[in-house]
Homo-oligomer: A and B are copies of this chain.
Amino acid sequence: MSASEGVQPTVSAPTFRVEPIDTLCVNTIRTLSMDAVQAANSGHPGTPMALAPVGYTLWQYFLQYNPADPTWPNRDRFVLSVGHASMLIYSLLHLAGVKEVGADGKPTSAPAISLDEIKRFRQLNSKTAGHPESHLVKAIETTTGPLGQGVANSVGMAIAGAWCNAHFAKPGFENLFDFHTYALCGDGDLMEGVAAEAASIAGHLKLDNLTWIYDNNRITIEGKTDLAFSEDVATRFLGYNWNVLRVADANDMPMLARAFTTAKATKGRPTLIIVDSKIAWGAPNKQDTHGAHGEPLGDAEIKGTKAFYGWPEDAKFLVPEGVAEHFQAVMGARGQAAQDAWNATYADYASKYPELAAQWSQMAHHTLPAGWDKDIPTFPADAKGIASRDSSGKVLNAIAKNVPWLIGGSADLAPSTKTRLTFDGAGDFQPSNHAGRNFHFGIREHAMASILNGMALSNLRPYGSGFLIFSDYAKAAIRLGALMGLPVIHVFTHDSIGVGEDGPTHQPIEQLISLRAVPGMLTIRPGDANEVAEAWKVILQQTHHPVTLILSRQALPTLDRSVYAPAAGTAKGAYVLADAVPGATPEVILIATGSELGMTVEAFESLKAEGINARVVSMPCWELFNAQDAAYRESVLPSSVTARVAVELGSPLGWHQYVGLHGAIIGMTTFGASAPIKDLLKHFGFSAAKIAEAAKSLIGK
């Protein structure tokens, strides 16, 4: 048998015979999907129709999942990476009777997805969005749609499982977190680079708690996949050190059952199950066509399909008697029993290891341990200073030793980003040590960010790091973290032309504004070591917002806080660092962030020496400042003072909101260049003298 065929599952499933009720359940998923898309007059019917037997077999007979408690920590995870097939997961959630989770994190008696919600598919304020959104429905493990993200998230969940299992392991409790993560994906996922990166690292890490199910339907939006995709997927994944199985017919539930059994039993490798399917299976005219991908089938086609299924042709949103009951009797009973058993084991564990149990409780409730911040250093004034990447490394280490589940790493740049945890016992996360806390994501920025989302979705507090320029590679995943409200930490160093000799390919210009423009995210660019420490305090206390922390490669002076205002102002996003004439309205306001704060303070001092009543404002975070009340904002930037200079080694776009049409912005309007930093700063006009000059010009002095 050639590699290109994949291998048939080698392990027999427990006796598996397809009963009429199974077919009824499968066809209920199919018809609900068709009907919902038709009612919305928008959506993707073909894939749910094709994959209904796959989703059904997996959920009903394999998933360790308790519908009555969808956030049970050791539940198996199911990720619908083909997010456009959202009606598949909505149908499954509905039929399986999965409950909604309340604001307190506990399951309620309300359904996660009611039949009414399915009828309101893709309508305003419904829970049944066009693509599954985890922030709308807690029982949805992750928000998917942008292709490749779901599978990459699933690697993060599998990592979280492996890490928790290893971290909490004690004699007799070796498998507290042995959940399996399944992701259902399509050719689009497998064409995306982020998925390739994620697959490679998952194989490297030997994540055998991970299975991807590949819907090989040979259809894309433009037509047949062979217009653009003729690679041998099985061979590629064998190259990644995955096990590869093939099921030749998505309707062959016994063979699917064998495949899932084999996948679960596979050790030392993740598993890819290639399932050949027919999009819109059963549709008389649209089966196997791209016309069934992204638009409603139409009433006539639906009738024909229902006839083929032996379904009442005119029935809409029909859930036949027995379907929900069957889910309850099989999946529900299995899930409840599994959770009951786990609860008993966990209670035993908690009594023997109360300290570890307390840790888990904090992780599960997204709280921080007492004293998490007790070792955060204060940095003494120092004109020579320290690079903010270095001070950040010290602060991160000081926090991480008190927060065991604060874990992360870098896309091969840890020696440069200073994110390595260096204290005893931190260790490396590797196949041989799943309890390690330092991650080597490889040169895979996009997968890193997406994996971090998956880790955050499974109770970890993850961080990643890289050069700011490479935030571009990861942007799509960073954004999804913001949409989901995940407190992922992205550390980006080498924040500007301060990079120096590496040149314009490595010098960010527009990246700051690009990140600041993402809704629901904080971008913090601290100006000295003590602002770095304050920034980390802000970061750790986030529960619903990702943060990008923007740091310098070069040394920044540590300000003397007995002369200038305390760095605690960082938490408000911007604060008055100093006034030349305290109490009086300033003539001119200088505003700076990050590495430009030092030269701006210098400019302030020279203006002060000239008798000019200047103010210097440090503004490490726009989003936090904009969230302050109007009185505070007015106190920092009095509207009567229109002479304002903003200084930042980045695109000037966005700064007009603080300096208006009459202020000045000293920013970067072109790409940078390759040269030592001192030459670049001079060349591009960044110096205390230039800042002072701009300020004086504004006030006619």
Interface residues of A (CB under 8 A from B): 3, 40, 42-43, 83, 122-126, 129-131, 133, 143-148, 187-188, 191-197, 200-201, 203-204, 220-222, 227-241, 410, 412-416, 428, 430, 440-444, 446-447, 469-470, 472-473, 475-476, 479-480, 482-483, 500-506, 509-510, 513-514, 516-520, 639, 651, 653-654, 656-657, 660-661, 668-671, 673-676, 679-680, 683
Tell whether, in the assembled complex, residue B500 and residue A42 are in contact, meaning their CB atoms are under 8 Å apart. Answer: yes
Tell whether, in the assembled complex, residue A412 and residue B220 are in contact, meaning their CB atoms are under 8 Å apart. Answer: yes
Tell whether, in the assembled complex, residue A204 and residue B222 are in contact, meaning their CB atoms are under 8 Å apart. Answer: no
Tell whether, in the assembled complex, residue B514 and residue A510 are in contact, meaning their CB atoms are under 8 Å apart. Answer: yes
Q: How far is the CA of A130 from the CA of B469 in the complex (A)?
A: 15
- When distances are taken between beta carbons in the complex, the residues of chain B under 8 Å from A470 are 146, 476
Tell whether, in the assembled complex, residue A130 and residue B506 are in contact, meaning their CB atoms are under 8 Å apart. Answer: yes
Q: How many copies of this kind of chain does the complex include?
A: 2
- When distances are taken between beta carbons in the complex, the residues of chain B under 8 Å from A430 are 227
Tell whether, in the assembled complex, residue B220 and residue A443 are in contact, meaning their CB atoms are under 8 Å apart. Answer: yes
Tell whether, in the assembled complex, residue A239 and residue B241 are in contact, meaning their CB atoms are under 8 Å apart. Answer: no
Besides A123-B676, A227-B442, 11 more A-B contacts (Cβ < 8 Å) are A133-B674, A147-B443, A193-B197, A196-B196, A201-B228, A221-B413, A222-B410, A472-B479, A483-B505, A514-B514, A519-B668
Tell whether, in the assembled complex, residue A483 and residue B131 are in contact, meaning their CB atoms are under 8 Å apart. Answer: no
Tell whether, in the assembled complex, residue A129 and residue B674 are in contact, meaning their CB atoms are under 8 Å apart. Answer: yes
Tell whether, in the assembled complex, residue A239 and residue B235 are in contact, meaning their CB atoms are under 8 Å apart. Answer: yes
Tell whether, in the assembled complex, residue B442 and residue A229 are in contact, meaning their CB atoms are under 8 Å apart. Answer: yes
Q: How far is the CA of A248 from the CA of B192 in the complex (A)?
A: 31
Given contacts A187-B443, A444-B192, A510-B514, contact A501 B43 (CB under 8 A): yes
- When distances are taken between beta carbons in the complex, the residues of chain B under 8 Å from A414 are 221-222
**Closest chain B residue to A414 by CB distance?**
B222
Tell whether, in the assembled complex, residue B196 and residue A505 are in contact, meaning their CB atoms are under 8 Å apart. Answer: no
- When distances are taken between beta carbons in the complex, the residues of chain B under 8 Å from A238 are 232, 235, 239
Tell whether, in the assembled complex, residue B124 and residue A673 are in contact, meaning their CB atoms are under 8 Å apart. Answer: yes
Tell whether, in the assembled complex, residue A442 and residue B191 are in contact, meaning their CB atoms are under 8 Å apart. Answer: yes
Q: How far is the CA of A191 from the CA of B446 in the complex (A)?
A: 11
A–B pairs, 8, beta carbons within 8 Å = A130-B506, A130-B674, A144-B505, A145-B503, A146-B469, A203-B230, A238-B239, A509-B517
**Closest chain B residue to A657 by CB distance?**
B656
Tell whether, in the assembled complex, residue A483 and residue B504 are in contact, meaning their CB atoms are under 8 Å apart. Answer: yes
**Closest chain B residue to A447 by CB distance?**
B193
- When distances are taken between beta carbons in the complex, the residues of chain B under 8 Å from A122 are 501, 503, 674-676
Tell whether, in the assembled complex, residue A191 and residue B200 are in contact, meaning their CB atoms are under 8 Å apart. Answer: yes
- When distances are taken between beta carbons in the complex, the residues of chain B under 8 Å from A194 are 193, 473
Tell whether, in the assembled complex, residue A143 and residue B505 are in contact, meaning their CB atoms are under 8 Å apart. Answer: yes
- When distances are taken between beta carbons in the complex, the residues of chain B under 8 Å from A503 are 122, 129-131, 133, 145
**Closest chain B residue to A193 by CB distance?**
B193
Quote the shortest CB–CB distance from A656 to chain B (angstroms): 4
Tell whether, in the assembled complex, residue A679 and residue B232 are in contact, meaning their CB atoms are under 8 Å apart. Answer: no
Q: How far is the CA of A414 from the CA of B441 in the complex (A)?
A: 34
